[in-house]
Structure 1
Amino acid sequence: MIQPRHGKSTPLSREVIVDTAHQLVESQGFEGLSMRRIAADLGCTPMALYRHIRDRDELVTLLLDRSVAAAPEPVLPDDPRQCLITLIDWQYHGLSAHPWAIPIVQAGDLMPPSILGTMEKIYAALTQCGTTPEQAAVVYRIVWNFVIGSLTHRVHRDRRATAPPAQVTIPAEADPQTYPTIAALSSYWRSASRGNSFREDLELLLTALLDAVTSSPPTETP
């Protein structure tokens, strides 16, 4: 039995460790996660944790698995393109609900095995759209980079003050005599919905990629 800071005796187990780690990352972000901090919160030594968790990487993988399991997949439409959009949009919003997970998936070093089911559905839908397996891998790699970039932008946007960033104000206030094309887009730069168009942008990107890879035969390796 261990004596956590809140005073209630709790048996130390993998589930208890993951619960405590989850509370930490949700309240303090990924940078606040350490085995030493978890041990302090649970009232045990860091070495005691390693009887249940192999290392920090395994703990983070378990946290990612928990987040995936907590977000059941949506009902998928029969049309493969709409199925793709639904699945990828679900991935985006699932990750945006857990900002601490974004730098982990961005680094690409760790991956929860539970995500394989979603990946299988995405690759299957891509091949149903007419891609080869190799083309499907390329399309999803490009789309995934778009998802990560959009998530990173969203996290920074949500953390910013209410004042618009320089990426908005500088082009919005561009001199129309010197930069007429940029200045003509002034209403676009100032639009409140400019940063909230993930699904629409995803549809455009997928359409362009699928049209590009399916309109020409795959290149044969000599």
Structure 2
Amino acid sequence: MTSRTQIVTAARRIIERDGWEKLTVRGLAAELGIGATTLYHHVRSKEDLLVLVLNHYLGQIERPALPGDPRERIIAAATAVHDAAAAWPWAVEIVTTDGFVGLLDESALWMVEEILAGAEDYGCTPADAVYIFRSIWYYTAGEVLVRANTARRRAGVLGPFSLDHIDASRLPRLAAVGGEEWAAVAQRDTYETGLRALVDGLLTQTTPKPD
């Protein structure tokens, strides 16, 4: 009998070898040496399969000790989200939809819970806490996907980056920066700096102002 662990292991093997786009229920069944009908007893679709693999991965992430300060707790939990996503950037493409938290197991949702709790402990309403989480997630997902695609560009999968086509008379500031300087700035790891600025702005925006 095929176990959940065997399914996840084989699915990860296909993803790492061929990319997540190539993962199919029929292909996984062939990898496992079983019939597709048998596998459909465990997963109903490719999305189910990807979510199963993602939940297994997230459930294995060790939960760190988080700061007591609400703001720092939000930043620490968001950084954990970022690090998990950066290790598996393909998974970000699976969950770049609103409501993705409904797809994840409880063991995979502690990071979301801590961001919401940190925001509420800071003084935000539950609705504003959700707004803060969504804003952080959009920033994080974008950063992870941009860096993943940049790595593909460096590997030659995409074309080289250049600003040589810029007309300096029409776009003088872009032309003055130049492709090399832009690329150098883009290589800096600015996630935490940007995250702190974002969180500070969101908390200021959503918490009551003293009279």
TM-score by length of 1: 0.79
CA distance in 2, matches of 1:119, 1:190: 32
Q: CA RMSD in A?
A: 2.6
Once the two structures are TM-superposed, the CA of residue 174 in structure 1 deviates from its matched residue by: 6.7
Once the two structures are TM-superposed, the CA of residue 31 in structure 1 deviates from its matched residue by: 0.1
SS at match of 2:109: helix
Structure richer in helix, relative to its length: 2
Counterpart for residue 136 of structure 1: 129
Question: Closer, same or farther in 2 for the Cα pair 1:190/1:17, shift >3 Å?
Answer: closer
Q: Which amino acid aligns with 1:144?
A: W
Once the two structures are TM-superposed, the CA of residue 83 in structure 1 deviates from its matched residue by: 1.0
Counterpart for residue 66 of structure 2: 76
Counterparts of 1:191-202 in structure 2, within 5 Å, are 191-192=184-185, 194-202=187-195
Cα pair 1:26 1:98 within 8 Å, conserved: no
Asked if 1:147 is matched to 2:140, the reply is: yes
Q: Which amino acid aligns with 1:154?
A: R
1:7-32 CA distances to partner (integer Å, 9 max, x unpaired)? Answer: xxxx4223211211121122222101
Counterpart for residue 46 of structure 2: 56
How many correspondences in the alignment? 203
Asked if 1:112 is matched to 2:90, the reply is: no
Q: Which amino acid aligns with 1:128?
A: D
Once the two structures are TM-superposed, the CA of residue 178 in structure 1 deviates from its matched residue by: 5.7
Q: Which amino acid aligns with 2:194?
A: D
Asked if 1:123 is matched to 2:104, the reply is: no
CA distance in 1, matches of 2:172, 2:140: 31
Question: Closer, same or farther in 2 for the Cα pair 1:13/1:194, shift >3 Å?
Answer: closer
Counterpart for residue 39 of structure 1: 29
- Percent identical residues: 30
Counterpart for residue 220 of structure 1: none
Once the two structures are TM-superposed, the CA of residue 188 in structure 1 deviates from its matched residue by: 5.6
Asked if 1:90 is matched to 2:80, the reply is: yes
Cα pair 1:85 1:202 within 8 Å, conserved: yes
Cα pair 2:120 2:129 within 8 Å, conserved: yes
CA distance in 1, matches of 2:6, 2:98: 26
Q: Which amino acid aligns with 2:124?
A: T
Q: Which amino acid aligns with 1:165?
A: F
Once the two structures are TM-superposed, the CA of residue 89 in structure 1 deviates from its matched residue by: 1.0
CA distance in 1, matches of 2:44, 2:183: 50
Cα pair 2:70 2:118 within 8 Å, conserved: yes
1:55-112 CA distances to partner (integer Å, 9 max, x unpaired)? Answer: 4333222111111122212221121111111111111111111122111011457521
Question: Closer, same or farther in 2 for the Cα pair 1:184/1:128, shift >3 Å?
Answer: farther
The structure with higher relative contact order (CA 8 Å, sep 6+) is 2
Cα pair 1:83 1:125 within 8 Å, conserved: yes
Once the two structures are TM-superposed, the CA of residue 155 in structure 1 deviates from its matched residue by: 1.1
Task: List runs of 5+ in structure 2 lacking aligned partners.
Answer: none
Q: Which amino acid aligns with 2:198?
A: L
